[in-house]
């Protein structure tokens, strides 16, 4: 296969690309605009592979998408490119509408034109896989409820609303134009190469730097945590074995209160990198005002993908979070390049449409 991955320099996208290059014979075309969250350092181990190509392209640019599709002739598209930070969506929703809604529409149309020009055999095997989030379902009202593939959409913030809109577009293109699409909705991801504005890397870095560890409200929000490499395996399984027109929920079977996650991180850091003064990192926990529209609980029922495709997460929260902390402790240069902005120098050296 030749898989075109949008947003491949992001956290989940880079994990997918590393998985494909490490574990398959397939080729990857990474299409990424390289916003602040796009980091080519996360692809250092695969960037020299003859099966990897990079295109510095915005998914809202139809002309460039047409060029990339014509040049590389992918047999599948895996769409991960998205603005994804809820706090940023509250402060500035316009970029979320542009990338997540307009960008998805533009990519769908470019892909449809490419797909229609294929031979009947290649058309039959082509796939468009849209990667979404459990946040489109909104808040779970009861502690016993789980999100299923048929749960109603009730997004609570501009980010989740824009992703919900994208999901609807993808399904409409399948129903109206017969574009062979699949959709996945995943729970919260964590693991190596995570941009430090997100909870787990933020807590690790702040702890090591002696800064406050911010927790929204009382920290009672519940999330289902999924190790990113487990997610990458699931995504590849869906695009290669999933049924066209289907939706698959992907979850880690690891529901945790946010305050539990923070305390787990502090305990691991106390063990692996104790502070010089001997005081637990938990002393740095600081409760801050909750954000507007903050959903209390997400939880995924991932039984369908287990039943139909045989996928299960390999990491428990305990094993995955230890691997994550150890990775950040062992790779300070990656974190440092993000914090001082030097990771962006490579981005600034590329113009739109330039390959690397």
CATH architecture designation of domain 2-191+227-252+299-315+340-348: 3-Layer(aba) Sandwich (3.40)
Q: How far apart are CA 27 and CA 73, in angstroms?
A: 11
Contact present, 259 and 215 (Cβ < 8 Å):
yes
Instruction: Say which of 32, 134, 229, 315 is annotated catalytic.
Output: 134
b/e string for 70-92 if b means 16 or more Cβ within 10 A? eebebbbbbbbbbbbebebbbee
pLDDT of residue 117: 96
Is position 134 annotated as part of the catalytic site? Answer: yes
CB atoms within 10 A of CB 185: 25
pLDDT at 297: 87
How many whole angstroms separate alpha carbon 219 and alpha carbon 328? 23
Which among 32, 55, 64, 159 is annotated as catalytic? Answer: 159
| Nearest one of 193, 188, 162 to 10, comparing CA atoms | 193
Write down the pLDDT at residue 347.
59
| Under 8 Å between Cβ of 276 and 328 | no
Strand order in the sheet with 255-257: 188-190, 222-227, 255-257
Helices (H), ranges, 189-245? 199-208, 228-241
d(CA 258, CA 175) in angstroms, rounded, equals: 39
Q: If we measure between CA atoms, which residue out of 58, 65, 66 comes closest to residue 82?
A: 58
In the prediction, which pLDDT does 319 show?
Answer: 97
* pLDDT in the model for residue 139: 87
DSSP 11-50: HHHHHHHHHHHHH-S-EEEEEE---TT--GGGGTTTTT-T
Average pLDDT per run of 10 along the chain, which is 356 residues long? 97 98 98 92 96 98 98 98 89 95 98 97 97 93 84 94 98 98 96 89 94 92 94 98 98 92 97 94 92 83 97 96 97 87 70 45
CA distance 209 to 203: 10
Catalytic residue among 135, 167, 224, 230: 135
d(CA 99, CA 124): 29
Q: H/E element holding 68?
A: helix 62-72
């Amino acid at each position: 296969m030749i898989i075109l991955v949008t947003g491949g320099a992001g956290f989940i996208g880079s994990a997918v690309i590393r998985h494909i290059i490490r574990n398959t014979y397939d080729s990857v075309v990474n299409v990424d605009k390289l916003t602040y969250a796009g980091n080519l350092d996360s692809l250092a181990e695969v960037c020299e592979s003859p099966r990897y190509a990079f295109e510095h392209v915005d998914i809202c640019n139809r002309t460039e998408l047409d060029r990339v599709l014509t040049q590389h002739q992918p047999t599948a598209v895996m769409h991960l490119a998205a603005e994804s930070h809820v706090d940023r969506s509250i402060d500035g929703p316009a970029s979320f509408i542009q990338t997540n809604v307009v960008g998805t529409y533009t990519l769908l149309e470019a892909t449809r034109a490419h797909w229609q020009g294929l031979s009947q055999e290649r058309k039959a095997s082509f796939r468009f896989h849209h990667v979404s989030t459990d946040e489109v379902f909104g808040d779970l009202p009861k502690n016993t409820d789980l999100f299923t593939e048929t749960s109603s959409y009730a997004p609570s913030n501009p980010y989740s609303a824009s992703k919900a809109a994208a999901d609807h577009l993808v399904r409409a293109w399948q129903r109206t134009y017969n574009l062979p699409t699949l959709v996945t909705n995943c729970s919260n991801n964590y693991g190596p190469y995570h941009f430090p504005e997100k909870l787990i890397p933020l807590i690790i870095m702040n702890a090591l730097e002696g800064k406050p560890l911010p927790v929204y409200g009382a920290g009672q929000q519940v999330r289902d945590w999924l190790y990113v490499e487990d997610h990458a395996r699931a995504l590849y399984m869906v695009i290669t074995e999933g049924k066209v027109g289907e939706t698959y929920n992907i979850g880690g079977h690891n529901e945790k209160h946010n305050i539990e996650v923070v305390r787990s991180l502090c305990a691991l850091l106390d063990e692996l990198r104790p502070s010089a003064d001997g005081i637990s990192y938990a002393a740095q926990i600081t409760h801050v005002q909750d954000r507007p529209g903050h959903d209390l609980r997400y939880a995924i029922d991932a039984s369908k993908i287990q039943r139909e495709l045989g996928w299960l997460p390999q990491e428990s929260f305990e094993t995955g979070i230890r691997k994550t902390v150890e990775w950040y402790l062992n790779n300070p240069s990656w974190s440092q390049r993000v914090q001082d902005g030097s990771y962006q120098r490579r981005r600034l050296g590329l113009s739109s449409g330039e390959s690397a």
